[in-house]
A and B are shown apart, each in its own frame.
Chain A
Amino acid sequence: MTPDAKRTVRITDTSLRDGSHAMSHQFTAEQVREVARALDEAGVQVIECNHGDGLAGSSIQYGFSRESEMDLISEAANVCEQARIAALLLPGVGTIEQLKEAVKRGIGVLRIATHCTEADISQEHFEMAKELDLEAVGFLMMAHMRGPEVLVEQAKLMESYGADCVYIVDSAGAMLPKDAAERAEAMKEGLDCQVGFHAHDNLGVGIGNSLAALEAGADQLDGSLRGLGAGAGNAKTELLAAVLDKMGVETGLDAFKLMDAAEYTIAPMMPFEPMPDRDSISIGYAGVYSTFLLHAKRAAERYDVDVREIMVELGRREAVAGQEDWVIDVAMDVAKEKEGAAS
């Protein structure tokens, strides 16, 4: 069936990494074992598991992990029979020291994330990943902020450092399907390595964007069970599995098992269900980092300001991934302004 060969796509599940944001980094070893086992049994080939902000993300800036991410990686690796474990690393936050430790704990895939214009800070990490025989995946974050041309140029840098795949990462959940498609198409054309797409559902088009990227040639997609992730969450893994199956796209996933995992494993441990509610829609609409959501809610409460005012100002200041400190700074500025206006 060569001319009509079935289209395949690899799905990476990031419930245990992007989901770490929605869980305020409180995953326990037991929860990680349960989730990883369920994903492994459902045929997921790559399971990302570590602090939401990448290796060594445990901090005041992003929130401390309840349990050591290295221990959680070990737990996930131990229960998986076929799936490989991935970890995310943000150069500037995590370093090669943690990368080496994560390899000892059992990761087989490293995903290296930079802001979509800063790929050249990832060279040493890609080179080390390849030296350690890892599959290395590039992650160009906040990719809605730049057009296809810039993304291709940045992705090519990652490719030259050794990336096996480069992802378009819609960290702000700000893209529409045509944005995803034109970026994926340009990347496929400009790169020899694979192309991936990571969605956030802030504008309710997480699945739509993933499908648009797929149609445009993407080889890999991300999902999380019940969408457990930052902001309104990610494309739901179980939903991707069902939809792709209906489209006749080969994923190797068992959609029913994933639905069960979402229903019985993840749902009971979720502190809330990420969805495009008022605050998440604001994030997608303003184009700010999805992870700011819970930080902004806390700051809004602490300084008695509207969470949307914080988001809009962060958007105006062009905050990028990782700048959670600006959330507090902006909240304090907004509060000061209000006080000034009142007096």
Chain B
Amino acid sequence: MSEDGKAEGKVKVAIVGSGNIGTDLMYKLLEEPGHMELAIVAGVEPESEGLKRARDEGIETTHEGIQPVLDDPEIKIVFEATSAKAHMQNAPKYKEAGKIAVDLTPAAQGPYVVPVANLTEHLDEDNVNLMTCGAQATTPMAYAVSKVTPVRYAEMVSTVASLSAGMGTRQNIDEFTFTTARGLEEIGGAEEGKAIIILNPADPPLIMRNTVYVVPENDEVDEDEITSSVNEVVSEVQKAVPGYQLKNGPTFDKRDTPWGEKPVIMMFLEVEGAGHFLPKYSGNLDIMTAAARKVGEGFARHLLGAEEVVA
């Protein structure tokens, strides 16, 4: 256990969805349960790889969807690792059953959460959304700059290995750009956000890369202060995602923008996965499951009445 909290006991949690994301999250919860106890993994396909692996780990499983999860009053937190469509249907049922939903799909039924930036603000909600992998990776950088100086515009570019972009992302790639751009605004603090995603089929697969460009409101900025805020946030994110790295930057440049010639702060990130279940290049998926674990732990401690939440 890495957290040195004061809370005692454990909160029972469930993972709904036994695909790549659900399975990777399962390994994370087993490795570092914190104040959570994984009670059940729910899927729909009894012979699925994910459910088999759960059984191998001695975890209870069901292939009858969410009903067994709803029926267990001790389960307080549900990690939704299905699809946006499924979560839209499931969300009211979790609510009715008095469970907190941590949503890893793009359904956005609850407020956006990025642990390093705003987890503590939403601990009384019963549904929170983790947006996209790109948002989990890049909004912390915009947020780090926003803490020092107002941000006019933030732009992110994610390059993801083709092999780690599933059909959900591929069939609805617009959703990634919309949601991530909104994340840069709502969590990154930018007046305007923009997101771009590129899939790269290089072999061997490349590790997830993200570039963040931030245009501050003011023409003069304190470069040292921004640099230390960025480095601080990076090391905070690294606690949950050890493979999160600032490869280059923050570097300060001037560019012609629609708001005249402005300083631009550039940050070049690499996100390597922990390799719990998914390959290491899938930093995009790893950062989602790591964030989910962090958020679950935050809720668990809150439910147990911990005095402070170490997000």
List residues of A whose CB falls within 8 A of some B CB: 56, 59-61, 64, 91-93, 95-97, 115, 117-118, 120-121, 123-124, 302, 317-323, 325-326, 328-329, 332-333
Contact = CB atoms under 8 A, between A and B. Distances in A.
A317 B206 contact: yes
B268 A325 contact: yes
Counting from the closest, the 9 A-B pairs by CB-CB distance are: A318-B202, A325-B211, A95-B174, A60-B213, A92-B197, A117-B201, A332-B248, A329-B268, A322-B198
Given A64-B258, A115-B201, A317-B206, A121 B170 contact: yes
A96 B174 contact: yes
Nearest to A145: B201
A333 B248 contact: yes
Interface string B192-214: 00101111111100100101010
A99 to B, nearest CB: 10
Contact of A95 (B167, B178, B206, B211): B178
Given A60-B257, A117-B162, A121-B173, A92 B213 contact: no
Contacts of A123: 171
Interface in B117-176: 155, 157, 159, 162, 167, 170-174, 176
Contacts of A333: 248
A61 B211 contact: yes
Contact of B196 (A61, A120, A124, A317): A61
Contact of A121 (B159, B199, B264): B199
Nearest to B169: A121
Between A92, A115, A118, A328, the greatest number of chain B beta carbons within 10 A of the residue's beta carbon is seen for: A92
B196 A60 contact: no
Contacts of A61: 155, 157, 196, 211, 213
Contacts of B199: 92, 115, 118, 121, 320
Between B196, B206, B209, the greatest number of chain A beta carbons within 10 A of the residue's beta carbon is seen for: B196
Contacts, number: 96
A196 to B, nearest CB: 22
Interface of B: 155, 157, 159, 162, 167, 170-174, 176-178, 194, 196-203, 206, 209, 211, 213, 215, 247-248, 251, 253, 255-258, 264, 266, 268
11 contacts: A60-B215, A60-B255, A93-B196, A121-B171, A317-B206, A318-B200, A318-B206, A322-B157, A325-B157, A325-B159, A329-B209
Contact of B200 (A120, A124, A323, A328): A323
A309 to B, nearest CB: 16
Nearest to A53: B196
Between B157, B159, B197, B253, the greatest number of chain A beta carbons within 10 A of the residue's beta carbon is seen for: B157
A64 B256 contact: yes
Nearest to B249: A332
B170 A328 contact: no
B248 A60 contact: no
B176 to A, nearest CB: 8
Contact of A320 (B200, B253, B268): B200
B266 to A, nearest CB: 7
A71 to B, nearest CB: 13
A123 B178 CA distance: 17
Nearest to A146: B201
B159 A323 contact: yes
Contacts of B215: 60
B152 to A, nearest CB: 12
A92 B173 contact: yes
Contact of A317 (B155, B202, B264): B202
Given A121-B171, A318-B206, A325-B268, 5 more contacts: A115-B201, A117-B162, A302-B253, A319-B200, A325-B159
Contact of A328 (B176, B178, B266): B266
Contacts of B266: 328
Given A59-B155, A118-B199, A319-B200, A91 B194 contact: no
Contact of B174 (A124, A319, A323, A329): A124
Contacts of A92: 173, 176-177, 196-199
B170 A120 contact: yes
Contacts of A320: 198-201
Contacts of A117: 162, 201
B178 A323 contact: no
A323 B178 CA distance: 19
A123 B202 CA distance: 22
Contacts of A302: 253
Contacts of A59: 155, 194, 196
A60 B162 contact: no
